[in-house]
């Protein structure tokens, strides 16, 4: 039984509040909890000057890594008091170093591809979640590469599903063609590399939400070239290593580490997705996935410290794409889906740590998912001209 009676009582009281009040309450709960659990200070007024180093040379070396904490995770299984047991790494290792935003709201469509595309464009995209189409608005990768004149090797996306293979580049006339990020699909790589009899089906599961949309994961020549030319991995080494991995997100982090080593992109975007196994209805699998994602976030931050290209000049931003339905919303089935559009499914958090970030501060001022891109724009020195979000003051 995942919740105490007190928590249930608190949740049922929430059901009587207006959505905005609920969002505020969720944010406050996270804030109080973080302050109590980690001794983090409460932000609000900016007491010190910005720690950002604005010199041009520093900006040039600056690396940004975005991790979407994958596939919709609710508060009550993460940063709310009853969720703390599931996120020991983020809570004890990462949160004390971070600026933590307790109230990040997603006002867009709650499907994983469209929501991740919205995070990447800074506009609530309205594209069909279940079709592999490019975002309508320029992506962060295009702004970054065009404004700063960066080469194609400097922006990469590691994406969980074949449905994400167009996320790196929009069809915007002023950006688009040839200015986006390269997208790597670890499952497609593995599928291309594994002609042997080894069963990798646990690493190749593409979509948890609807069996009606399961794009073919078929490997090809292009993937094998990426493996050898970009990642400098032989087919044998890769498939051997894959045998030791337990989930698609572990495979993604392995690929991301390889990319960091070989290409050292300045802008690296990793979309996790294991948590979305919740659609199966198995609470224990959902919790396992949260714990794994928690561990993988910490492992990636450790990898940053170990890579000379990244250590000391990297900012990591971790945020869920959205939440999942509340238990008491009769239109849903609790943690299983994200269909109701209630505050629990829209209100999440964001953690920022590393270069230029004030450590150990909690902010409960409301921000939106679409504020991510313009904020990174200010950090790196590009203009997210068509984004509808605004830079998050506390990060600048």
Shortest spacing between CB 275 and Zn ion, in angstroms: 8
Binding mask of the shown chain, residues 161 to 200, with x at each position contacting Zn ion by CB under 5 A: ----------------------------------------
82: burial class by Cβ within 10 Å (0-12, 13-18, 19+)? middle
Q: Tell me the residue length of the chain.
A: 396
Residue number, 146 or 346, with CB nearest to Zn ion: 346
Mark 82-101 with x for binding to Zn ion (rule: CB under 5 A) and - for no binding.
--------------------
| Residue whose CB is less far from Zn ion, 209 or 342 | 209
Nearest position to Zn ion, beta carbon: 276
Using the contact rule CB under 5 A, the part of the chain among 102-110, 189-197, 207-215, 263-271 near Zn ion is: 207-215
Q: How many whole angstroms separate alpha carbon 121 and alpha carbon 388?
A: 9
Hey, what are 283's tokens? 């609470």
Query: 265 or 343, CB closer to Zn ion?
Result: 343
| Of 205-213, 214-222, 236-244, 305-313: span binding Zn ion (CB under 5 A) | 205-213
Considering the complex, state which of residue 276 and residue 371 has its C-beta at the smaller distance from Zn ion.
276
**Contact stretch for Zn ion (CB under 5 A) within 157-165, 206-214, 241-249, 260-268:** 206-214
Using DSSP, state whether 213 is helix, strand or coil: coil
- What six digits make up the tokens of 163? 């449905």
Smallest distance, Å, CB 373 to Zn ion?
A: 22
What is the smallest separation between the CB atom of 112 and Zn ion, expressed in angstroms? 5
What binding mask, one character per residue, do residues 267-286 give for Zn ion by CB under 5 A, x or -? ---------x----------
Shortest distance (Å) from residue 221 CB to Zn ion? 32
Q: Does 321 bind Zn ion (CB under 5 A)?
A: no
Residues touching Zn ion: how many (CB under 5 A)?
A: 2
Nearest approach in angstroms of CB 324 to Zn ion is 8
Which of 209, 223, 327, 329 is the binder for Zn ion (CB under 5 A)?
A: 209
* H, E, C per residue of 305-370: HHCCCCCCCEEEEEECCCCCCCCCCCCCECECCCCCCCHHHHEEEEEEEECCCCCCEEECCCEEHH
CB of 187 to Zn ion, least distance (A): 17
Could you tell me which residues come within 8 angstroms of residue 163 by beta carbon, excluding any fewer than 6 positions away? 113, 130, 131, 132, 206, 207, 213, 215
Given a contact cutoff of 8 angstroms between Cβ atoms, the answer to whether 353 and 99 are in contact is: yes
- Per the rule left: phi > 0, alpha: psi between -120 and 50, beta: everything else, 307 is beta
Kindly tell me which of 143 and 335 has the beta carbon lying closer to Zn ion.
335
- Beta strands in the chain, from DSSP E residues, in sequence order: 41-42, 63-68, 98-105, 155-158, 182-184, 267-271, 314-319, 347-354, 361-363, 367-368
In angstroms, the CA 32 to CA 43 distance is 12
Segment interacting with Zn ion (CB under 5 A) among 45-53, 73-81, 157-165, 208-216: 208-216
Residues of the shown chain interacting with Zn ion in the complex, contacts defined by CB under 5 A? 209, 276
């Amino acid at each position: 039984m995942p919740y105490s009676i007190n928590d249930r009582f608190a949740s049922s009281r929430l059901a009587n509040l207006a959505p905005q009040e609920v969002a505020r309450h969720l944010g406050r709960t996270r804030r109080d909890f973080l302050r109590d659990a980690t001794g983090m200070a409460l932000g609000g007024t900016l007491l010190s000057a910005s720690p950002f180093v604005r010199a041009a040379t520093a900006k040039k070396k600056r690396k940004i890594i975005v991790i979407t904490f994958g596939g919709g995770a609710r508060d009550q299984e993460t940063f709310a008091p009853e969720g703390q047991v599931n996120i020991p790494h983020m809570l004890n290792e990462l949160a004390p170093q971070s600026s933590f935003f307790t109230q990040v709201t997603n006002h867009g469509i709650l499907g994983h591809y469209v929501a991740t595309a919205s995070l990447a464009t800074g506009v609530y995209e309205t594209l069909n979640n279940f079709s592999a189409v490019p975002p309508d608005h320029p992506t962060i990768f295009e702004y970054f590469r065009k404004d700063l004149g960066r080469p194609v090797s400097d922006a990469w996306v590691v994406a969980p599903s074949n449905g994400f293979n167009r996320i790196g580049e929009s069809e915007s006339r002023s950006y688009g063609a040839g200015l986006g990020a390269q997208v790597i699909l670890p499952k497609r790589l593995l599928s291309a590399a594994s002609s042997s009899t080894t069963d990798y089906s646990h690493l190749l599961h593409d979509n948890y939400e609807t069996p009606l949309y399961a794009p073919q994961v078929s490997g090809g020549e292009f993937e094998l070239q990426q493996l050898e030319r970009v990642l400098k991995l032989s087919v044998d080494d890769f498939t051997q290593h894959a045998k030791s991995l337990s989930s698609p997100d572990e495979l993604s982090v392995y690929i991301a580490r390889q990319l960091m080593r070989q290409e050292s992109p300045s802008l690296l975007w990793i979309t996790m997705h294991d948590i979305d196994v919740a659609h199966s209805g198995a609470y224990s699998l959902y919790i396992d996935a949260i714990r794994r994602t928690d561990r993988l976030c910490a492992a990636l931050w450790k990898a940053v410290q170990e890579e000379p290209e990244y250590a000391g000049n990297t900012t990591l931003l971790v945020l869920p794409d959205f939440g999942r339905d509340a238990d008491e919303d009769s239109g849903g089935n609790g943690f299983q889906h994200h269909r109701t559009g209630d505050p629990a499914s829209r209100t999440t958090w964001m953690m920022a740590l590393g270069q230029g970030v004030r450590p150990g501060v909690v902010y409960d001022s409301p921000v939106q998912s679409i504020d991510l891109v313009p904020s990174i724009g200010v950090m790196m020195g590009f203009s997210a001209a068509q984004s509808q979000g605004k830079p998050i003051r506390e990060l600048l």
